[in-house]
Structure 1
Amino acid sequence: VMTFARPGTDCIEIFSRALETAKKAGLEENFMGHGEGQVAFIGHGLGLEINELPILTARHSRTLEEGMVFAFEPKFVLPGHGAVGIEIDLIVGAHGLERVTTSSPDIVRL
C-alpha cells in the first residue's frame, strides 16, 4: 500500500492488491479471518469516530483524497494456531502516504 497508494487511488484497488498478495502466498482462506468469520475489508477511515469512510473493501469505490487518514489492518487467521495482524495508521499526503504509526511493522516472535 505504501508504495502505490496516493490521492486518486481507489479503495477497491488497495483491497484487490492486498487480496492478490494473500492469494500468491497461498493464504487466501486465512486472509481477514477464516470461514464464516472472514471479513471483506482491510481498513477504514479515522476521524471523529473510530470507523469512518473510506472503507478499504472490494465493494466500496472511493478514491483517496489528500488529508484523509485511515487504518490499514490486514490480518490472517490460522485455525488451531492463532491469528496475526498489524494496524498501520496513514495520512494521504500530496504525493503518497505518510505513516502515523511509529511502531515497527516487523514481525515479533513471542
Structure 2
Amino acid sequence: MSVKDVIKECKLFYLAGQKTTSVLLVRTMVLLSKHPNWQARAREEVTMIFHEVLRLYPPVAMLPRVVSKDTQVGDMCFPTGVQVVLPTILVHHDHEIWGDDAKEFNPERFVEGVLKATKN
C-alpha cells in the first residue's frame, strides 16, 4: 500500500465513522424517547459512570480557596486571607474515604447517589 492509499483509507474511516456514529446516536435517542423506562435506567447508569470518572480523573487536581473570615476546623485555625488548597486528586483516591477499591473503576459506588458513595 502506498502512502497515498493509506491516506485515502484514513479519510474513508474518518468520514464513514462520522456518519455511522451520528446515525447510531440519533436512533438511540429516538428509541429512548419512546421507552421512558429505559431512558431512566440509561440516565442513572451514565450518571454513575460520569461520577466515577470524575472521581478517578478530576478535571482540576487542586481547588485553591482564600479564607474570607477567621475559621476554625477541628484543631486548625485559618486566619482571614490565607489560601487553602484542597488536593482533589488525593481526596478522590483516599482509601479511608472510598474504601479498599479507591483506585479502581467502580461506578456502582454511586448507585445510591453522591452523598452515599463513600464508605463512611
**TM-score of the superposed pair, with normalisation by structure 1:** 0.27
**TM-score of the superposed pair, with normalisation by structure 2:** 0.26
Point out the structure with the larger helix share: 2
Larger-Rg structure: 2
Taking CA–CA contacts closer than 8 Å with sequence separation of 6 or more, which of the two structures ends up with the larger relative contact order?
Answer: 1
